[in-house]
Amino acid sequence: MAYDPSKEVLDTKPWYKQFWPWFVIALPFASMLGSITTIYVVNSDVITRQDIPVTSEEGFVRRGMFVSRAGKDIKFLDDSLKVDRPSEEKAEKLISLGLEALEKIEKQAKQKEAEVFKKGQK
């Protein structure tokens, strides 16, 4: 039996009645809808209705995301937590201790290096 092209059934529906063009068109639109929804949720108070503007006239203090009345809960604003600077003698002593520790570490590293070098020569 030979092939007869006149008996072949062709799909003659127009493109807008096909499934795949609409599927391909729907993917970008779904992406756009999702991004618009995300932007709306981020820029509105849909999730929480607690977004109250904070002004300094009301006695509130804002540090980052933390809001406190008159700043009493913020430790950095409390005067009792101030750090005193060390005296010059104390600072010099701390520096000398640090330098001594650094020299000791360097000395130990040189000794270790010499030991490894000796082991490598054997």
Q: What is the pLDDT of residues 45-63, one digit of tens each?
A: 655 555 555 555 556 666 6
Q: Does residue 27 belong to any structural domain of this protein?
A: yes
Q: Is residue 38, in this structure, part of any structural domain at all?
A: yes
Task: Spell out where 25-121 has E strands.
Answer: 60-63, 66-69
In-domain check, residue 85: no
For residue 82, give both structure tokens.
């101030």
* pLDDT of 97: 84
Query: Is 77 in contact with 61 (CB distance < 8 Å)?
Result: yes
Report the pLDDT averaged over residues 7-22. Answer: 85
Identify whether 6 is part of a domain: no
Q: Is residue 78 pLDDT above 60, yes or no?
A: no
Structure tokens at 94: 């701390």
pLDDT at 1 over 80: no
Q: Which two tokens stand for residue 109?
A: 């590293």
Could you tell me if residue 92 is inside a domain?
no
Q: What would the mean pLDDT of 93-108 be, rounded to a whole number?
A: 85
The number of distinct structural domains making up the chain is 1
Mean pLDDT of the chain: 76
Q: Which domain holds residue 16?
A: 11-46
pTM: 0.33
Task: Give the mean model confidence (pLDDT) for residues 62-82.
Answer: 57
